[in-house]
Amino acid sequence: MVKKLQALRAKKGFTLVELIVVIAIIGVLAAILIPTLASQITKSKVTSADSTAKELLQTVNSWAADWVSAGGAELESQDILIKMDKGSASVSGSDGGSRFDGCAGFTAGRPGCPESLEDRFASDYSARTFTAMVFVDNSGYAVFSWFVPDNANFSGSTPDFDNFKSTTFSWKDKKKEGVNAQGIIVGTYPKLSHPDNT
């Protein structure tokens, strides 16, 4: 029994200095890893937003092809603003956008109308909330797009037609392409780079 007590007394715990050293090492590792992880999370969100921007462009082009083949008027060169709020879609074009509302653009008396662009977005993105812009060129088909996730009432810096023509946009930080001046993620298709990175 005495030997057991002596053995227990001989065992040492960690000293205060050893604990401080371990805590300091953990702190240094955290200081290195946390910004890296945050950066990777932002990159993944930007990649997801870029992918959705491409999907939106394809949705507009698919709808335009269906619309024209059903007898609707072709889209003209314009910007199409899309606002989704939990299944409620609002679509407007710089030419007035009346053709997005249903049967506008069809010859009188033509039976049956294809779905409106608003209905297409409402069904394809039913539970989403976002703001987006799709640019249509003079061919009547969408060529560029940007997308802001989770914000139906977004107002901030976004690319325009000239940015897509030059393939650049002045992002907040050249190391964080896809984050605008307000710190909000903006997906683009085709992908726009920071001017300093070209």
Which pLDDT does position 94 carry in this prediction?
Answer: 79
pLDDT at 195 over 80: yes
pLDDT per residue over 134-143, tens digit each? 999 988 889 9
Q: What mean pLDDT do residues 149-162 have? A: 89
Which residues, other chains included, contact 143 with Cβ-Cβ below 8 Å and sequence gap of 6+?
57, 135, 136, 137, 164
Q: Could you count the other beta carbons within 10 Å of the beta carbon of residue 99? A: 21
- Kindly provide the b/e burial profile for residues 20-35, where b requires at least 16 CB atoms within 10 angstroms of the residue's own CB: eeeeeeeeeeeeeeee
- Sheet-wide strand order for 187-189: 88-93, 78-85, 129-136, 142-149, 187-189
Which pLDDT does position 193 carry in this prediction?
Answer: 93
What is the spatial distance between Cα 7 and Cα 25, in angstroms, rounded to a whole number? 31
pLDDT at 62 over 70: yes
> 165 near 143, Cβ under 8 Å?
no
Q: What mean pLDDT do residues 168-178 have? A: 90
> 82 near 145, Cβ under 8 Å?
no
Which residues, other chains included, contact 150 with Cβ-Cβ below 8 Å and sequence gap of 6+?
129, 130
> 149 near 130, Cβ under 8 Å?
yes
DSSP 8-state secondary structure symbol assigned to residue 179: B
Which pLDDT does position 76 carry in this prediction?
Answer: 82
Question: In the structure, what pLDDT confidence band is assigned to residue 6 with cuts at 50, 70 and 90?
Answer: low
> What percentage of the chain carries pLDDT values higher than 70?
83
Which pLDDT does position 108 carry in this prediction?
Answer: 47
Question: In the structure, what pLDDT confidence band is assigned to residue 165 with cuts at 50, 70 and 90?
Answer: very high
Q: What mean pLDDT do residues 65-70 have? A: 80
pLDDT at 120 over 70: yes
More confident: 191 or 7: 191
Which pLDDT does position 106 carry in this prediction?
Answer: 54
Q: What mean pLDDT do residues 45-67 have? A: 92
pLDDT per residue over 83-116, tens digit each? 999 878 888 887 665 556 556 555 544 555 677 7
Q: How many residues in total does the chain contain?
A: 198
Which pLDDT does position 109 carry in this prediction?
Answer: 46
